[in-house]
Structure 1
Amino acid sequence: MKAPAPAWASSLNEATMEAARATLGAALLDTIEIAGEVQLHVTRDGLVAAMTALRDTPGLEYQQLMEIAGVDYPSRAERFEVVYCLLSLTRNHRLHVHVGATEETPVPSVTGLWPVAGWLEREVYDLYGVLFAGNRDLRRILTDYGFRGHPFRKDFPLSGYVEMRYSEEQKRVVYEPVKLAQDFRSFDFESPWEGAEYVLPGDEKAALPEAKGAPTPLTATQVQKADAAQSAKAAPSAPSEPYAKKDAGSTAETGAGKPGPDGGEPKPADPDVLPGKSSGPAGGGTGGQNQ
């Protein structure tokens, strides 16, 4: 049975790059194929025209905008890179369009081509601080009201600048400078495979002569013998057979042979009949003749 959509092939990438070079012209800066995916690097001024051509040109036909992502490269002159992920339904192919930006140079909005770009551009603005010219609702969308800074930038501290809490005195949410409830512990940045110079709490229980897996000059045979010796010391006693009877040392342990509260008299067959000194035969009522 033939597949309902065209199968992906590596030759499709080459055809896509050739069609993009012929269609985009001066707006295209570079075409790269990385990990089986095509990247098109375009200029900011030619972004909207390039995206329109990628959507409407026969042979390209990237109808859907799937995602807009941001990347931060602090060492570059244009530290931010906005990545548009496009999908062609008719060609069963994906494409990435890259455009550079700075904090002061806005990127043209593509909300006129794909309305879904409104929310996606707001995410990039919120997390990276990239401005989008033409977006009529460029507000924060993920961070809190009054948040300062952009948390996905490489120079943004992991703990942030301010923290929020609800104040019972003021009956509202207040912002305060970050105060760590617990001091940072002293960390060593050695490789965990080299082993720390100190012993963590609890690790002393695993020491044989040398713990398994720790850096040790012992051979595998020596470690195995040490494990066997340690296991022999802590070996539990063999379990008894299930449902086996135990020998009692005396009747006090099991109650065997101990007279009951009625002095050993035979119990009535009927549980409703109470035993008495001059009761009738077993199974009889309480109306026995008393002499």
Structure 2
Amino acid sequence: MTTLSDLGAHIKGAMTSAVTDVSVGVGELTLSVAADQIIPVLTYLRDDPRCKFTTLIDICGVDYPERGKRFDVVYHLLSMHLNQRVRVKIETDEQTAVASAVGVWPAADWFEREAFDMYGILFSGHPDLRRLLTDYGFQGYPLRKEFPLSGNVEVRYDPEQQRVVYEPVKLMQAYRNFDFLSPWEGIPAELPGDEKAGRPDQTG
């Protein structure tokens, strides 16, 4: 059986200029790839007899806002023929589009739309790059590090206007009941009714 190190060396040897780094950690093979070479690398991983990564499991994004190229685009592939997995990573920024993998795996369609919707990552050559999970007219990208945890607007149905309305987020702290039993507040050391649990026996 081919080890992950041998497989990584084989891929690196075949795609020397495209694969910039190969690492094995926690039982996972990870390839760092030049962004402009992502489609040739993915095609090679799918078609090479020693790879046969014919199944695209996922495409996701990671945000590192302190970097010039703030996004990692991460592809997870599976070879059911060889019972192997591989992770492929590239770097990009907010303006530079990544070549769409839809031509290699049609399943990349909605994965890339999700990455665009959540991070604002652009994919050139995508057949229908538009938001997938958020509402029409949504502002911002929810999985970027600077996006507020509470969001920018809240949505509710207004019975008087008989339509959905968008309003700025309002946190009504004055109406919260701090009973210290809510999981948001944490559980106190001594619960009501347990007052006698820690007392020494009074019976003598």
Query: TM-score category by the smaller chain?
Result: 0.7 to 0.9
TM (norm. structure 1) is: 0.62
CA distance in 1, matches of 2:150, 2:175: 12
Partner of 1:206: 194
What letter matches 1:206 in structure 2?
A: D
Change (3 A) 1:175 1:24: same
Q: Which runs of 5+ in 1 are unaligned?
A: 1-8, 188-195, 213-225, 234-291
Higher relative contact order (CA 8 A, sep 6+): 2
Partner of 1:144: 135
Matches within 5 A, 1:1-291: 12-183=3-174, 203=191, 205-207=193-195, 226-229=199-202
3-state DSSP of counterpart to 1:26: coil
Contact 1:19–1:60 at 8 Å: present in 2 too? no
Change (3 A) 1:56 1:151: same
Change (3 A) 1:160 1:99: same
Shift of 1:202: 6.8
TM (norm. structure 2) is: 0.86
Change (3 A) 1:35 1:202: closer
What letter matches 1:62 in structure 2?
A: F
What letter matches 2:194 in structure 1?
A: A
CA distance in 2, matches of 1:183, 1:125: 38
The superposition leaves residues 36-68 of structure 1 with CA deviations (integer Å, 9 ceiling, x where unpaired) of 100000011000011011111121111111111
What letter matches 1:53 in structure 2?
A: Y
What letter matches 2:5 in structure 1?
A: E
Aligned-pair identity in percent equals: 44
Shift of 1:205: 4.8
Partner of 1:254: none
What letter matches 1:137 in structure 2?
A: D
Contact 1:84–1:96 at 8 Å: present in 2 too? yes
What letter matches 1:153 in structure 2?
A: R
What letter matches 1:150 in structure 2?
A: Y
Larger strand percent:
2
Which has more radius of gyration?
1
Q: CA RMSD in A?
A: 2.6
Change (3 A) 1:54 1:166: same
Q: Which runs of 5+ in 2 are unaligned?
A: 179-185
The superposition leaves residues 206-261 of structure 1 with CA deviations (integer Å, 9 ceiling, x where unpaired) of 345xx75xxxxxxxxxxxxx4544xx69xxxxxxxxxxxxxxxxxxxxxxxxxxxx
CA distance in 1, matches of 2:92, 2:200: 61
